[in-house]
Structure 1
Amino acid sequence: MEKITSREILHQIREEAAKKISDSRCRILICAGTGCLAGGSGEIYRRMSELAEENPDIDVEFGPEIAHGSGPLEVKKSGCHGFCEMGPLMRIEPAGILYTKVKPEDCNEIFHRTIEKGDVIRHLLFKQDGIEYKKQEEIPFYKKQTRNVLKNCGHIDAEHIEEYISTGGYEALEKVLFEMTPQEVVEEISASNLRGRGGGGFPTGYKWSQVARQEEKTRYVVCNGDEGDPGAFMDRSIMEGDPHKMIEGMMIGAYAVGAREGYIYVRAEYPLAISRLKRAISQAEESGLLGDHILGTDFSFRLHINRGAGAFVCGEGSALTASIEGKRGMPRVKPPRTVEQGLFGKPTVLNNVETFANVPMIINKGAEWFRSIGPEKSPGTKAFALTGSVRHTGLIEVPMGTTLREVIYDIGGGIKGDGAFKAVQIGGPSGGCLVSKDLDVSLDFDSLKKMGAMIGSGGLVVMDDHTCMVEVARFFMNFTQNESCGKCVPCREGTKRMLEILERIVAGNGKLEDLDLLEELANMITETALCGLGKSAALPVMSTLKVFHDEYVEHVVEKKCASHTCTALRKFIISPERCKGCSKCARNCPVGAISGKIKEPFTIDTEKCIKCGACASACAFGAIHIEG
């Protein structure tokens, strides 16, 4: 690609790249996100590429209503489409067909039936409630979304800069360099009321303005791509599927505050994201969009990648910058704040991946457009990782203000199996639980804060009535306690004590006074911990203790777990009416807790029983069940 040294050359390359795509006879976009690659999409890409090479002159037929160009047949690696549970996914353009759960052995049929003859392979289509969906945009999972940040993910080749440029990429950078002053950029972002998508919801424009007004002229722009929440993969998907959008946002931020260097902090467990970012930075440097005198202007900017070691606490600003500097990732007392003394003691803009990815759209379409989406105080869209006991899981993007009911039932398809909705954990291990009465709450920063919860980075774990909320609290407290950096006593010792109490409760050794102690410890940690991780560490316990207090009481008083999740509180019994006296349960018991005579009902010695469930699994007559 020609070196881009002016806006005229950028326009020319954009036109050529867009024309190449429109002239293509067919584009086969194979999801090459982490999830689909784990499912075998790499082999699917290889086979489809071989078929395309073996049949370069193949006639493409999608019917008279679908026009296509006369150019080459292209097989591309795209980023994550979002519908992860249905992967590997394959999108065929210009027909817009989406095939789900594709296997390598399906490739030959797809190539010769769909691409050559225009036939739709029905068993590869997504089906819901008896309806087949041929096009991706018609599927309820996608139809109810507003994909702005994720718009390109799954639709462009994630590994080639020309594809991003063809969609209008780097148009916003061009605009700010030639048509706006740094102050005007800050004002536009401030007017949009873009709030940080990393969890805190801090106004982005205000943060940028604080850095821009510092007397110190050496400044940095840092992107937080650490994303440590269990089950969260929003930032990862952007870095893998549309890395240039985030890079362009960082460059605009650097221009606005006068920074010449930037750092992307990515967790080491994201090797594909790191690989795609390295490729994107390299291509941007080779094309002249990164480096010195970008687009022939006085603006110069360079990007570096730092790999984190997987410490959850490094999602906190001062811990993250300390880690980049080569120190142990631990938060420090504030002030001074990161905007005053951040990376290497210099003023630093620190935003997460999704926040930066919003910036180019705001510059191109304007602050008023952005504010027209969602509520006034929390405008724009938000990406969520929808997981748990919901029919359709994956990565979604909806306008702020969308309700939980719409997300779970309209997009997620409702609760899977025979379960009923019980709760949703929102905001990861530092978030809180919402229940049935909260289904119509608006998903925005302020509404959730009033509920004692938070959006966080965007994790949504849906739970059904087979879930034990005490065990959920214990799980998240175990995660948080393990991730505590240990710098401050409230977090280091307080979370440990809370975890010990929760472990006693699920083991059947809890007491009523433990519940009061949990609440006391939770309040102490929240009020006195040093950083955001510590201050929010007790949220899952506090919210479940408040909403599911009866469940805690049941565990400590009745020594029962209604969902039968807590192993220590299970009590296996044999129904005399169903037992045939075959002795299979006794033969499978590892501790000899079952006795009886052949052809007569057997019994379980509850004192010896270790509650492993081997007897219930072995019984062919359904005679063994958990009491309660």
Structure 2
Amino acid sequence: MSDLRVDALRRYADRFGHDLGAVRARLLAGDKTPAGQIATDNGLPAAAGSGPATFYADFTAPHGRRHIRVCGAAACTAASGGTQVADVEAALHVSVDKCRDDGEVSLQEVRCLGYCYAGPAALDGDKPCAGQDIAAQLTGTRQPQDPPITVQADCPEPVVTAGLLSTESSWAVWPEVISRSEPTDVLAEVAAARLRGRGGAGFPAARKWTAARTYPQPRVVVANGDEGDPGSYVDRLLMERDPDRVLEGLALASFAVEAEQAIVFIRGEYPRARERVEAAIRKAYDDGHFGPNVHGSGRTLDVRVESGAGSYVSGEETALLNAIEGLRGVVRPRPPYPVEHGLDGRPTVVNNVETLATVPWIVRHGGAAYARFGTADENGTVVACLSERFARPGAYEVEIGTPVRHLVEDLGGGLRDRAILRSVQVGGPLGGFLSPGDLDLPLSEAALSSRGAALGHAGIVAFDDRLTGADVLRHIWRFAATESCGECSPCRVGTSRGLRLAELDATTDVVRARTDVLRTLAAGSLCAFGRRVPAAIRSVAEVYGLEGWT
């Protein structure tokens, strides 16, 4: 690979033996030293500090002695009718991204805290508050609420939710596999299962693992817990309540790839998930699951946690790797792909948390057993997360191909308070929208894409008639403009321009400009984030009958 394709700061750090990650670690720890000075203290150019410090939202937001993060994402906006951020600002007498003059309270708007089932939500420090009276909870006139996630398996047998529903114990597979099996045995079962990634892209897991094995060791496996899709909270659920299953899946993937190093990357908005995963890792070392000579096999596996710092795009695998290395969390051009040249230049497999939590069941029961779930073309199960507007919100494991109507009406119970369903957003902020007349579609990538939506992370956010189509359209553009990493001009400029155009009447010139923006985003964006924006916008426009977005 040409040196021109490697970040200059990474080259500098490698050449002189300095640790780029040390700068980010001090920023995450709350070090108030200027970022440039932190970098020079570690023998690095000042840009190695100022780059991350000015990119990640958690570093750029002002912090008072009491720091509050309020969710402004889709599910919480639908839950409140779009008033939750303004309500909190008024109650606390502080504006978003500001700190009060006395330094006591600061407020930051974030996009998803994983409380989509109980929103609107906020984190008061690391303490969650959720519910319609969130402003009162934050002012102390009501007790903070932290509702648990309802979990149900509506499939022949729980797979991802097996531990949550107490049908299978964790660490039942790993000791025997590491002692008696070959890496290719695990790879063969995952290939037979036809398991696809559940993080949004849907890439076959076994194909990714096989590709990584064609490149020289040392290799790395990363569990992607940067669950940024508003509407989905399955990764938070698994990391907080069944971290052992995630770690066992990570261990099995590392074995299949023959990697000795594994990392769990957890978004900064999930402090309890980090705490629980770290505790589970310590116990796994104590029990001999990790470390040198795992269960007498002669193999080594070391696992650690890395934290995000507030960036949606850092959930994209190449941006995530940049974040771990201590760089700005922007997308890398591909090729080379991470399986060839990933973390610190090593072959790297990145799999989402839900994907890895599926692997222990597959290895225990066989790939063929898993392949029987779902449809002939898209097999397996998925955990669909229903938002607060449903009468019975929660995490429901279902087979791929389950009708969306069954989820919305039978499992979710329709909308609460006899509200009128106006639309459902499926597959995250850049997935797509379905009208009430589209609900008979199967929950599958092929069926949803035929209507301009996507399976994505299988989050389902319901919108009632308190929000207009124009409100929802602006929300999508605002999300896209705020969360664009800025690495490519079509997305950086296009999302901001799209937001401005959304405020204008649909004159001939405005419609032409909108069409140009959507076409440029789809054709020129570096990653799926920018390329998916046009489909999401057109989907909203079609469901709500908005003119001028073609």
- Mark yes or no: TM-score above 0.5: yes
* Mapped pair 1:467 → 2:467: yes
Partner of 1:405, secondary structure, is: helix
* Mapped pair 1:174 → 2:175: yes
> Who is 2:8 aligned against?
none
Partner of 2:307, secondary structure, is: strand
* Structure 1 segment 63-74 matched on structure 2, within 5 A: none
C-alpha deviation, 1:144, in angstroms = 4.0
> Who is 1:476 aligned against?
476
- Looking at both structures, which has the greater relative contact order when contacts are Cα pairs under 8 Å and sequence separation is at least 6? 2
> Who is 1:115 aligned against?
none
Alpha-carbon distance between aligned partners in 2 of 1:144 and 1:322, rounded to the nearest angstrom: 38
Partner of 1:410, secondary structure, is: helix
Give the alignment partner of residue 163 of structure 2, picking from 136, 141, 152: 152
* Mapped pair 1:197 → 2:193: no
Partner of 1:540, secondary structure, is: helix
Alpha-carbon distance between aligned partners in 1 of 2:253 and 2:495, rounded to the nearest angstrom: 37
In structure 2, do the counterparts of structure 1 residues 441 and 175 end up closer, same or farther at CA, with 3 Å as the change threshold?
farther
In structure 2, do the counterparts of structure 1 residues 420 and 372 end up closer, same or farther at CA, with 3 Å as the change threshold?
same
Give the alignment partner of residue 535 of structure 1, picking from 526, 531, 534: 531
> Who is 1:94 aligned against?
none
Alpha-carbon distance between aligned partners in 1 of 2:116 and 2:388, rounded to the nearest angstrom: 14
In structure 2, do the counterparts of structure 1 residues 434 and 516 end up closer, same or farther at CA, with 3 Å as the change threshold?
farther
C-alpha deviation, 1:246, in angstroms = 0.7
Partner of 2:416, secondary structure, is: coil
Alpha-carbon distance between aligned partners in 2 of 1:243 and 1:144, rounded to the nearest angstrom: 22
Counterpart residue type for residue 458 of structure 1: A
Query: Structure 1 unaligned runs (5+)?
Result: 1-81, 87-100, 102-138, 156-165, 556-628
C-alpha deviation, 1:455, in angstroms = 1.5
> Who is 1:585 aligned against?
none
Counterpart residue type for residue 522 of structure 1: L
Alpha-carbon distance between aligned partners in 2 of 1:337 and 1:344, rounded to the nearest angstrom: 13
> Who is 2:342 aligned against?
342
Identity of aligned residues (%): 35
* Structure 1 segment 212-227 matched on structure 2, within 5 A: 212-214=213-215, 216-227=216-227
> Who is 1:254 aligned against?
254
C-alpha deviation, 1:510, in angstroms = 4.8
Counterpart residue type for residue 201 of structure 1: G
> Who is 2:510 aligned against?
514
C-alpha deviation, 1:467, in angstroms = 3.2
> Who is 2:3 aligned against?
none
C-alpha deviation, 1:148, in angstroms = 2.5
Alpha-carbon distance between aligned partners in 2 of 1:301 and 1:177, rounded to the nearest angstrom: 11
| 1:85–1:394 CA contact under 8 A, matched in 2 | no
Q: State the structure with more CA Rg.
A: 1
C-alpha deviation, 1:227, in angstroms = 0.7
* Mapped pair 1:449 → 2:449: yes
Deviations 1:153-207 (CA, angstroms, capped at 9, x unpaired) = 265xxxxxxxxxx944222213422343112211211110000000000000100
| 1:477–1:538 CA contact under 8 A, matched in 2 | no
Deviations 1:43-77 (CA, angstroms, capped at 9, x unpaired) = xxxxxxxxxxxxxxxxxxxxxxxxxxxxxxxxxxx
Deviations 1:421-440 (CA, angstroms, capped at 9, x unpaired) = 32111111111111133211
In structure 2, do the counterparts of structure 1 residues 348 and 482 end up closer, same or farther at CA, with 3 Å as the change threshold?
same
C-alpha deviation, 1:420, in angstroms = 3.0
C-alpha deviation, 1:516, in angstroms = 4.1
> Who is 2:381 aligned against?
381
Partner of 1:171, secondary structure, is: coil
Alpha-carbon distance between aligned partners in 2 of 1:219 and 1:375, rounded to the nearest angstrom: 34
Alpha-carbon distance between aligned partners in 1 of 2:284 and 2:458, rounded to the nearest angstrom: 29
Deviations 1:479-512 (CA, angstroms, capped at 9, x unpaired) = 11101111111000001110001133xxxx5535
C-alpha deviation, 1:273, in angstroms = 0.3
Alpha-carbon distance between aligned partners in 2 of 1:217 and 1:224, rounded to the nearest angstrom: 21
Alpha-carbon distance between aligned partners in 2 of 1:150 and 1:181, rounded to the nearest angstrom: 27
* Structure 1 segment 581-596 matched on structure 2, within 5 A: none
> Who is 1:298 aligned against?
298
Counterpart residue type for residue 525 of structure 1: L
Deviations 1:9-66 (CA, angstroms, capped at 9, x unpaired) = xxxxxxxxxxxxxxxxxxxxxxxxxxxxxxxxxxxxxxxxxxxxxxxxxxxxxxxxxx
| 1:225–1:352 CA contact under 8 A, matched in 2 | yes
C-alpha deviation, 1:150, in angstroms = 1.9
| 1:522–1:542 CA contact under 8 A, matched in 2 | no
In structure 2, do the counterparts of structure 1 residues 463 and 211 end up closer, same or farther at CA, with 3 Å as the change threshold?
same
Report the RMSD for the aligned CA atoms in angstroms: 2.5
Alpha-carbon distance between aligned partners in 2 of 1:503 and 1:225, rounded to the nearest angstrom: 35
Counterpart residue type for residue 521 of structure 2: I
Partner of 1:397, secondary structure, is: strand
> Who is 1:407 aligned against?
407
Alpha-carbon distance between aligned partners in 2 of 1:188 and 1:143, rounded to the nearest angstrom: 23
Query: Structure 2 unaligned runs (5+)?
Result: 1-114, 120-130, 132-149
C-alpha deviation, 1:547, in angstroms = 3.5
> Who is 1:433 aligned against?
433
Count residues with an aligned counterpart.
407
| 1:228–1:310 CA contact under 8 A, matched in 2 | no
| 1:419–1:464 CA contact under 8 A, matched in 2 | yes
C-alpha deviation, 1:376, in angstroms = 2.4
Alpha-carbon distance between aligned partners in 1 of 2:301 and 2:152, rounded to the nearest angstrom: 37
Alpha-carbon distance between aligned partners in 2 of 1:83 and 1:330, rounded to the nearest angstrom: 26
Partner of 1:210, secondary structure, is: helix
Partner of 1:247, secondary structure, is: helix
C-alpha deviation, 1:453, in angstroms = 1.4
| 1:388–1:463 CA contact under 8 A, matched in 2 | no
> Who is 1:185 aligned against?
186
| 1:501–1:518 CA contact under 8 A, matched in 2 | yes
| 1:85–1:392 CA contact under 8 A, matched in 2 | no
Counterpart residue type for residue 514 of structure 1: V
Alpha-carbon distance between aligned partners in 2 of 1:83 and 1:411, rounded to the nearest angstrom: 16
Counterpart residue type for residue 205 of structure 1: A
Alpha-carbon distance between aligned partners in 1 of 2:163 and 2:168, rounded to the nearest angstrom: 8
Deviations 1:81-135 (CA, angstroms, capped at 9, x unpaired) = x99659xxxxxxxxxxxxxx9xxxxxxxxxxxxxxxxxxxxxxxxxxxxxxxxxx
Partner of 2:384, secondary structure, is: strand
Alpha-carbon distance between aligned partners in 1 of 2:242 and 2:442, rounded to the nearest angstrom: 28
| 2:163–2:245 CA contact under 8 A, matched in 1 | no
Alpha-carbon distance between aligned partners in 2 of 1:362 and 1:347, rounded to the nearest angstrom: 24
> Who is 1:545 aligned against?
541
